[in-house]
Structure 1
Amino acid sequence: MPAVKKEVRSRLCPLSSSSNGAACAAWATARSRPPALVFILAMTVLLAGMFFNLSCAPRQAAVEVETEGALLIPSQEEEIRLRAYHPEVELVLTWEDEDSGSAAVVVENIAADSIEVKVTPVAGQDAASCKVKKESPTELTLAVKGSGTQRLELKPSSAAAASAGKPFQFAVVGDSQGRNEVLAQIIEKVNSSDVDFLICLGDLVASGGDDEYRVFQETMAALNCPYYTVPGNHDVKGDGVDYYRSNLGPEYYYFDYSGCRFFFLDSSSLGIDDAQLAWLEGNLNDEELPGFVFLHVPPVDPRGNDHAFLAPNQAQALIELVTAPTSTVQAVFSGHIHMFLHSEISGVQFVVSGGGGASLYASADEGGFHHFALCKLTSDGLTVEPVKVEVPPHPEELVINGAEGDIIFSQDELDEMAVLKKELCFQNQLGNFKGKGVYRGVPVRDLLEKAGGMEPGDTLMVYALDGYSQEFAYENVYPESCDWAERQGEMALAVEYNGKSVPEWPEGYRIVFFPDDGVYDNKDCKFTSAPGQGWHLYQSAGGRWVKTVIRLEVVPCQSQE
Structure 2
Amino acid sequence: MLRGAGLVGVFGLLSACQLVEFSPNQAYVPAQERGLNGQALARLQTAPNPDDTVRFVFVGDTQRFYDETEEFVASVNQQRSIDFVLIGGDISDFGLTREFRWVHQRLRLLDAPYLTVIGNHDLVGNGRAVYREVYGPLNYTFRYQGTHFICLDTNGREYGFNQQVPDVQWLQQQLADTAGTRQTIVVGHVPPTDEDFDPLVVPRYTAALRDCAGLVFHLGAHIHRFTVGQPYHDGVTYLTTYSLQKKRYHILTVWGQRKFRLETVTYGVEG
TM-score (norm 1): 0.39
Matched, 1:388 2:248: no
1:262 aligns with 2:140: no
| Residues 293, 275 of structure 1: alpha-carbon distance in 2 compared, 3 angstrom cutoff | closer
Could you give the per-residue CA deviations for residues 11-65 of structure 1, whole angstroms, max 9, x where no partner exists? xxxxxxxxxxxxx9xxxxxxxxxxxxxxxxxxxxxxxxxxxxxxxxxxxxxxxxx
Query: 1:275, 1:313 → 2: CA distance?
Result: 11
Q: 1:313 to 1:327 in 2, by over 3 A?
A: farther
Residue 312 of structure 1 and its aligned partner are, at CA, apart by 2.2
Instruction: Indicate whether 1:280 and 2:184 are aligned.
Output: no
Partners of 1:175 and 1:246 in 2: CA distance: 19
Secondary structure at the residue paired with 2:73?
A: helix
Q: What percentage of residue pairs aligned between the two structures are identical?
A: 25
State the Cα distance separating 1:384 from its structure 2 match: 2.0
Measure the CA separation in 2 of the matches of 1:214 and 1:238: 16
Aligned to 1:212: 99
Measured at CA, do residues 209 and 346 of structure 1 come closer, stay the same or move farther in structure 2, by a change above 3 Å? same
| Residue 196 of structure 1, CA deviation | 0.5
Unaligned runs of 5+ in 2: 6-27
The alpha-carbon deviation at position 268 of structure 1 amounts to: 2.7
Contact kept in structure 2, 1:294 and 1:334, CA below 8 Å: yes
Q: Which one has a bigger Cα radius of gyration?
A: 1
5+ residue gaps in structure 1? 1-23, 25-71, 87-107, 115-154, 358-368, 393-561
SS where residue 85 of structure 1 aligns? helix
Higher relative contact order (CA 8 A, sep 6+): 2
For 2:187, the aligned partner's letter is F
What aligned pairs does 1:304-315 form with structure 2 within 5 A after superposition?
306=195, 308-309=196-197, 311-315=198-202
Read off the aligned partner of 1:334 and give its amino acid letter.
G
Which amino acid is 2:213 matched to?
S
Q: In the aligned structure 2, how far is the partner of 1:74 from the partner of 1:327?
A: 42
Cα displacement (A) at 1:253? 0.8
Distance 1:156 1:176 in 2: 27
Q: Does 1:377 align with 2:254?
A: yes
Q: Shift in Å at residue 332 of structure 1?
A: 0.5
> 2:61·2:221 contact (CA, 8 Å) conserved in 1?
yes
Contact 1:284 1:327 in 2 (8 A): no
Closer/same/farther in 2, CA of residues 237 and 275 from structure 1, 3 Å limit: closer
* Cα deviation code 1:74-125 (max 9, x no counterpart): 44xxxx8864524xxxxxxxxxxxxxxxxxxxxx53675x7xxxxxxxxxxx
Candidates 309, 331, 350, aligned match of 2:238: 350
Determine whether 1:224 maps to 2:111. yes
Q: What code does the residue aligned with 1:242 have?
A: A
Which whole-Å CA distance do the structure 2 matches of 1:265 and 1:239 have between them?
Answer: 19
Deviation at 1:391, TM superposition (A): 5.2
Matches within 5 A, 1:47-196: 74-75=30-31, 83-86=35-38, 108-109=39-40, 155-156=45-46, 160=48, 163=50, 166-193=52-79, 194-196=81-83
Q: 2:205 aligns with which of 297, 314, 318?
A: 318
Question: Secondary structure of 1:184's partner?
Answer: helix
Higher strand share: 1
> In structure 2, what is the Cα distance between the partners aligned to 1:274 and 1:201?
17
SS in 1 for 2:150: strand
- In 1, distance between residues paired with 2:138 and 2:98? 20
Query: Equivalent residue of 2:167, what SS?
Result: helix
SS at match of 2:130: helix
Asked if the contact 1:340–1:355 (Cα under 8 Å) also holds between the matched residues in 2, the reply is: no
Q: Quote the residue 1:294 is aligned against.
A: 187
Alignment of 1:9-48 (within 5 A): none
Q: What is the deviation of 1:183?
A: 1.6
TM-superposed deviation, 1:240: 1.1
- 1:338 aligns to what? 224
Higher fraction of helix: 2
One-letter code aligned to 2:249 = F
Structure 2 letter corresponding to 1:298: P
Match of 2:126 among 239, 245, 248: 239
Instruction: Give, in angstroms, the shift of residue 383 of structure 1.
Output: 1.8
Q: How many residues align?
A: 235
> Cα offset for 1:300?
0.4
SS at match of 2:244: coil
Distance in 2 separating the partners of 1:315 and 1:224: 37
Q: Distance in 2 between matches of 1:246 and 1:82?
A: 6
> Conserved in 2, the CA contact under 8 Å of 1:293 and 1:333?
yes
State the match for 1:8 in structure 2. none
**Alignment partners' CA distance in 2, 1:258 and 1:316:** 31
Does 1:328 pair with 2:214?
Answer: yes
Q: Is the 8 A contact 1:285 1:327 kept in 2?
A: no
CA distance in structure 2 between the aligned counterparts of 1:351 and 1:244, rounded to whole angstroms: 24
